[in-house]
């Protein structure tokens, strides 16, 4: 069995205003370095982005893993998702989640016959985690800037499974 396709869903929303105009920076690289933290803060706190993200995740079919780099963003989205969709099965994994609980969540993902969402700190879902039945991988803002992390995240979704022919990769980008 092999994965034949990765379906990329790209959503674009307005970008925040830069801290100061490009011409005031010594180089475009310095401008980008200054803009990135402002963009992360904007995306993680923008109600329209949060609403869009949660609606998309709710409507996805199959198991979904959402990877986060920032704990406060993870906590806010998890709380909001549980508030909006109380009947949808959703779990949170962060650094304080006990190992036995993480193992149980992985077991639920593997054995589930319905849509399960797991919101996880990327650092907590690294080496040694092998979940085959991931149909959707959602890269939360901040996580998508590091190429190695993105490739490792995609690797989580490319595990082989008899009836799995694709992985849906989702990213929210402000441009």
Tokens standing for residue 36:
């990135």
Its pTM stands at: 0.78
Query: Which pLDDT score is estimated for 79?
Result: 96
Which of 136, 99, 107 has the alpha carbon at shortest distance from 119?
A: 136
Query: Which pLDDT score is estimated for 118?
Result: 86
The proportion of the chain whose per-residue pLDDT surpasses 70, expressed as a percent, equals 69
Counted residue by residue, the chain has a size of 175
Q: Which residue stretches of the chain have pLDDT < 50?
A: 1-5
Tens of pLDDT, residues 20-67:
788 888 888 888 788 777 777 877 888 888 888 899 899 988 888 888
Ranges of H-type helices in 20-121: 28-45, 47-59, 71-84, 99-111
Judge contact between 12 and 39, C-beta under 8 A.
Answer: no
């Amino acid at each position: 069995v092999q994965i034949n396709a990765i379906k990329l869903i790209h959503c674009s929303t307005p970008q925040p205003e830069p801290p100061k105009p490009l011409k005031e920076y010594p180089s475009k690289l310095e401008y980008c370095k200054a803009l990135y933290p402002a963009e992360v803060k904007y995306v993680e706190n923008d109600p329209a982005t949060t609403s869009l993200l949660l609606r998309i995740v709710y409507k996805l079919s199959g198991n979904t893993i959402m990877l986060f780099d920032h704990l406060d963003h993870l906590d806010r989205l998890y709380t909001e998702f549980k508030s909006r969709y109380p009947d949808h099965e959703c779990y949170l994994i962060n650094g304080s989640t006990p190992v036995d609980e993480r193992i149980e969540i992985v077991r639920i993902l593997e054995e589930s016959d319905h849509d399960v969402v797991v919101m996880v700190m990327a650092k907590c879902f690294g080496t040694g985690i092998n979940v085959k039945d991931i149909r959707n991988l959602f890269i939360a803002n901040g996580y998508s800037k590091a190429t190695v992390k993105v490739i490792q995240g995609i690797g989580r979704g490319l595990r082989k499974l008899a009836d799995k022919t694709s992985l849906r990769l989702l990213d929210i980008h402000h441009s």
